[in-house]
Amino acid sequence: MKLTLEYVDIKDIQFSDRTCVKNGTLFINKAELTEQILTDPKIKSVDIDIVKPGESVRVLNVADCIEPRAKMTCEADWAGVIAGFDDTLGTGTTRALKGMSIMICDPNCIWSGLIGNLDMSGPGADWSPYSKLVNLCIACYPNGKQDPREYAHSIRKACYGAGVYLAKSSDKADRTEILDNETRTEGLPNIGYYYQIYSTQHDYENIPESIYYGFAVPDTLPLVIQPQEVIDGAIAWGCGFHMMETYAIQNHPIILDLMRRHGKDLNFVGMMVGVVSMDGKRRHLAGMMIGNTMKEVFHADGVVMTKTMGGAPHVCEGVAASECEKRGIKTVTTVQILNLASNLSTEVLFNDPKLNAIVQFGAYFDPVAMPAVERVFGGDGDAPLPCAAGLGGPTSKGDIINATTNIMGCVSHVGNFNIIAVDY
């Protein structure tokens, strides 16, 4: 596949009587955008505000975060969520508004109790790449009692649609990038990628899922997918904030790095996606399928693997990596630490001497002290801040001890973060 990305650099956002981009500033007709979001009857009201780097503001109850994008050559915007399947993701031209995001807030925590927060200034801001962006924050409020899964779909569709609306308001791009790995260069190593996307392991009926073209995929065996499809919106985050925000998937650092190095020092020969297997027999079947595909279809010399969360996802990653190593494929795995001691030695749940290339992607429960802010968005500043690991604070607006797992963008399952993890 070949995907052309058109980048529009956004340096500022302002409300105006017309939605357009001029000289790096995104002007937004707030009334028009509000009207568009409220076309879904499940959403009763919406708050929209702009938060900028350096402001003394804390964004609360963030369920997801996206980069505004729109297809310019077809009608495949967020296929399966907004658009149908008449056109294909991963091809043609997509326009992206760089330097900004849409923060999707769920103050009622209906979408999910797994929420994030973000400080735009002070020591807390250093932990997240999103504090360096100009963020359009959208908080949706339900029209009466809502089914969590249906309401999550409504918020997602409305706010993703807002991103399409904003991206299409730009007249021209500042720069372009082409993602093309259709040919291979002899003499370069062939590298594949296995992307374990999140699937719920327990309360499947009540928690929205990670989505693949708009579908929950809790039981799928590993699938072959084009990397351009992932960058173009084929995979999004559906479970509410859990260190896997959609912005990070749209700007997937591993996929983009492999694509940019393709034909220079490696051949990016293909990728697969899969979910967690709770059954041991099925887990080994999935690992065998990944190993066979990487070896016999992609002819990979090396594979990069990423996972989501820990426990069963970690074991599944280890099994798949071992199957690749058995077939002579050098494998690099990633680890995130989920224990309160932030100790890597208790987190490596597989024991294969061949798996000797492990990248640490951060610890979820490290405490971070954050001072009070002047205002909040997306929640009640006088209410206690919900936080993992027994941390938090008496009020959301005041001094808090945050957990890294709650800081939007602090820990990322694909490496979209600022921190460097060191194991002492």
Separation between Cα atoms, residue 288 and residue 273, nearest integer Å: 14
Predicted pLDDT at 241:
57
Residue 377: inside a domain: no
Among candidate residues 160, 176, 192, the one where a domain is terminated:
176
Predicted pLDDT at 360:
78
- 264 with 216, same domain: the answer is yes
Predicted pLDDT at 248:
95
Cβ neighbour number for residue 312 with a 10 Å cutoff = 18
**Per residue of the chain (424 residues), what is the pLDDT tens digit?**
999 999 999 999 999 999 999 999 999 999 999 999 999 999 999 999 999 999 999 999 998 999 999 999 999 999 999 999 988 899 999 999 999 999 999 998 877 666 789 999 999 999 999 999 999 999 999 999 988 888 888 999 999 999 999 999 999 999 999 999 999 999 999 999 999 987 665 454 555 566 889 888 877 899 999 999 999 999 988 765 567 889 999 999 999 999 999 999 999 999 999 988 888 899 999 999 999 999 999 999 999 999 887 778 888 999 999 999 999 999 999 887 776 665 656 666 677 888 888 887 777 778 889 999 999 999 999 998 877 666 788 899 999 998 888 899 988 889 888 877 665 5
Among candidate residues 153, 176, 199, the one where a domain is terminated:
176
Predicted pLDDT at 322:
96
Q: Which H or E run contains 46?
A: strand 43-51
Residue 47: inside a domain: yes
Number of domains in the chain: 2
Predicted pLDDT at 388:
65
Predicted pLDDT at 271:
98
- 42 with 151, same domain: the answer is yes
Among residues 396, 390, 389, 388, the alpha carbon closest in space to that of 370 is found at: 396
- 231 with 252, same domain: the answer is yes
Question: In this structure, are residues 65 and 159 in contact, taking their beta carbons and an 8 Å threshold?
Answer: no
Residue 26: inside a domain: yes
Phi/psi of residue 399, each to 5°?
A: -65, 135
- 146 with 199, same domain: the answer is no
Cβ neighbour number for residue 286 with a 10 Å cutoff = 24
Predicted pLDDT at 371:
95
Q: Which two tokens stand for residue 179?
A: 């993602």
Residue 410: inside a domain: no
- 146 with 195, same domain: the answer is no
Residue 403: inside a domain: no
- 76 with 199, same domain: the answer is no
Among candidate residues 144, 176, 208, the one where a domain is terminated:
176
Q: What residues form DSSP beta bridges with 401?
A: 369, 392
Predicted pLDDT at 56:
98
Residue 313: inside a domain: yes
Predicted pLDDT at 45:
97
Residues in the chain: 424
Predicted pLDDT at 358:
82
- 172 with 307, same domain: the answer is no
- 186 with 164, same domain: the answer is no
| Domain span at 16 | 2-176
- 149 with 239, same domain: the answer is no
Predicted pLDDT at 162:
97
Residue 389: inside a domain: no
Separation between Cα atoms, residue 272 and residue 260, nearest integer Å: 19
- 213 with 155, same domain: the answer is no
Predicted pLDDT at 422:
64
| CATH number for position 359 | 3.40.50
- 172 with 185, same domain: the answer is no
- 121 with 207, same domain: the answer is no
